[in-house]
Each structure stands twice: as structure tokens, then as C-alpha cells.
Amino acid sequence: MLNLSFYTTLLLLSLNQLVSTNKSEGLNIYLFDIAVVIFSFLGVVYFTVVKKSFKIPKNSFLFLIFSIFALASLIFSFSALDLSEKDSLISAFYFFRFFSYLLAGIVVFNMVNQNLITKEKVFNAFIYSGVLLSIAGFVQLLVLPDFTVLDPELGWDPHKNRLASTFFDPNFVGAYFVICLVLLLEKFFPEKRKGDMDFQNLKHTEDFAKVSDEFPKPKKGDFIAFLIIFTALVLTFSRSAWGMLGVAILLYGLFRSRVLLIAAFIVVFLAYFAIPRVQTRLSGITDPADSASLRLVSWRNALEIVKDNFWTGVGFNSYRYAQEEYGFLDIGEENVHSATGSDSSLLFVFATTGILGFLSYFLALIFPLFGASAKKGERSLISASVILPLLLESQFINSLFYPQIMFLVFCILFIDSSNI
């Protein structure tokens, strides 16, 4: 029952914008949000009532502490920003969404910890969802290559000839693709846990078989999945996602295989000269009219709000209303999706929850890299290759609070960094 709920939730998360149930002003409710709430509720009930064993992963405590600061800032904002009852409910809904996704990650951790599902099956499910999103993206490029034909009232950016899949946003789906590619890189370049045994030094056939069972070779389908997802990532033409993959490959190249670095250099070199739009996207970073310059404005606005609300923030998910109060939104921009947050996830956290919320959230992200698993000298390269690139990418788009990415990140952090 719980496994079925997990797979159903992941499927609905992959469908994303195609399963919207309500799009009133300032509030979007999706079937996947409802599915996450149901999955979290079923999981908590099952492990507390039936199994009588509900464990909290160590690296989730800081996220729970952040939730307390976020809730406190939210309550404070009701009076500080003089929010209407409707606006207060909208802000409260998004806090509830965040906490539901956090709880879902803890439930998945318990599922793996109590052998209801294996870590490999969870990661494979994420990879399959990446393949599904890629195929949907290829179809979208054929059917809807130009988002300018959509109703402007829906608030979508005018992406043209870029793969956006069911996310309707190439940057967010690009980040999702990179996380899936990291899981595949772990299959191609696995960690050697048994004393760093080297296949070349194995003298006995039984020793080779023993290690081969622990580190099974990637299947043909894994290579096909990598090719499909990587192609989709390129077609997003998302510079932030490309940079995110670059950091992940650098980490795996440094710690697992130098060959990967050489292969990546060759691919980048060929892509730059073979695909004209790759050159255009990369050279556009220095163009004042490019979107990169607009992010500088977003950062500056966020820093101004941080300066005035250093200790308490303006309230979790009350950023839109703070921008309106500061005059940062032009007329007609209130319903644009980007108006709800800063382009930087960390600045968004700082501006909305204050210094204590910022510190607890930032430490929660990096704790798995230097915390419990690191005590044994076994830092997880999967967690590092998800979090570090995502921290970089999230300074250009608010990806850390995107529902689909939150779900993957919480699940991966909790079940990978806890050595289960």
C-alpha cells in the first residue's frame, strides 16, 4: 500500500503542470501536492501505529528546526505586513507544502530503513521519472515549442524552442535532470567500500565474484537512460543546469574517475562548436539584455529586504507581498510565477525567515556532507554531487523550494547520508 502510494506520488510529481486542480490568484494546488500529503499521512500512521517504529534521520533535525523558524516568521508576517485573511492562508499553505515534502522524505527514509523498499529501487524510480520527463519534453518541443502562445495571465515565461517538459520551465526541469544523472553516475562509477579493493589485485575467483555482486555492472538500460536524459538536459538550454552538471561531473571526476573529466571536456568542446545555440547561450551571460543581468536586480532587491528584516525576515512565503510593499513589482507582475520569490534560494530564505532561519537551513543542507556519515570517513559522493551543484544552481533560480526538487533532495539526503 505504502509502496504504491510512493510510486503514484512520483508519477504525479512527474506530470507536474498537467495535474493542476486550482489556479486562483496567488495559489496553485496540484494533484501531486495532495498525493504527497496522503503519502506522508499514510507513512506516519503506518510506522507509528502499525510498526510502532518511526525513526527521524539525524540529518533531518536541522530541517525541522528551520521549519520552526519558518512557522514563527510566518505568524509574525501576518501583522507585520498587514496581510489579508486570504493572503495569510496562501502563505500558510506554502509552509504546509514545505513541511509535507519534508515529512515525505522522512517516510521514504523509514521505508528503506525497515526494508519496505530498497535504496536502489528508490533511486531507479527517480531515474525512470527523469526518462519520462525527457520523453514528455521531446513531445513538448514538437507540439509546443513556443510558450508565448499561452495565455499571459497564466504567468509563464516566454520560453521558445527550449525543452521544458511538464514543468513548463527549462531551468527547473534541467535541475531535475541533473539529479537523475548524478544517480546514474553513481551506477557507472560506484564507491569501493571494502577496503578500496581493486579488481586488478583480486587473486581468487571467489573474491572477484563477491565484489562483483556488491558492485553490479550498469545495465544497458542505464546507458540508454543516461543518453535520453542528457540529451533532454542539453535541449533545455539552461545555463544554470549545465553548470550544475559540470560541478557534479567535476566531483565524480576527481573522486572516482579522471576519464570522466576527459570525456566531459570532449563533449563540451564538440557541443560548443556543433550547436550554434550553445554558443549563443554561453555568450549571452555578458549581454546586459540577457536574463543573467535581471538576476542581479533580483539579488539586489533581496539584499535590501534582508537588510531591513535581518532578524525575523518578512515571513515564510510572504516574499511576494514584501516585494509589493517595497515597490519592486511592476504593474501586471503580481501573478508572474517569479514574483513569489528571489532568484536566489538562500537569499529567499534569509529574506523570509531571518538570520536564524537562514543558518538552520544552510547547515541542514551541508550537514550530510560533514555530519554523521563523515565521522566514519565515508562522505557520500551522491549527496555532495546533488547538494553542492544545487546550491550553485539555486543562486540563479529558486530551485531549492521547487516541489519536485524538494521531494528528490529530501529523499536522497535522508536515505543516502544515513548509511542505510
Residue 81's pLDDT is 74
Residue 318's pLDDT is 84
How many Cβ atoms are within 10 Å of 277's Cβ, its own excluded?
12
Residue 409's pLDDT is 97
Q: What is the mean pLDDT of residues 169-179?
A: 97
What are the two backbone dihedrals, phi and then psi, of residue 29, each rounded to the nearest 5 degrees? Answer: -115, 130
Chain segment 352-387, per-residue pLDDT in tens: 999 999 999 999 999 877 754 444 444 578 999 999
Whole-prediction pTM value?
A: 0.90
- Torsion, Cα of 263, 264, 265, 266 (10° steps): 50
Chain segment 186-201, per-residue pLDDT in tens: 999 987 654 333 434 4
From 38-47, 316-325, 346-355, the region with the lowest mean pLDDT: 316-325
Chain segment 114-152, per-residue pLDDT in tens: 999 999 999 999 999 999 999 999 999 999 999 888 766
The answer to whether the CB of 277 falls within 8 A of the CB of 237 is yes
Residue 199's pLDDT is 37
From 17-21, 33-37, 96-100, 393-397, the region with the lowest mean pLDDT: 17-21
Euclidean distance between CA atoms 373 and 187, whole angstroms: 20
More confidently predicted of 269 and 23? 269
Q: What is the mean pLDDT of residues 24-43?
A: 87
Residue 376's pLDDT is 46
Euclidean distance between CA atoms 218 and 227, whole angstroms: 14
Specify the number of domains making up the chain: 1
Percentage above 90 pLDDT, the chain: 61
Residue 285's pLDDT is 62
Q: How confident is the model at residue 418 (pLDDT cuts 50, 70, 90)?
A: low
Q: Kindly tell me if the per-residue pLDDT of 56 is higher than 90.
A: yes
Residue 149's pLDDT is 82
More confidently predicted of 42 and 324? 42
Give the range of the structural domain holding residue 190, as residue numbers without chain letter: 2-416
Average pLDDT in the chain: 85
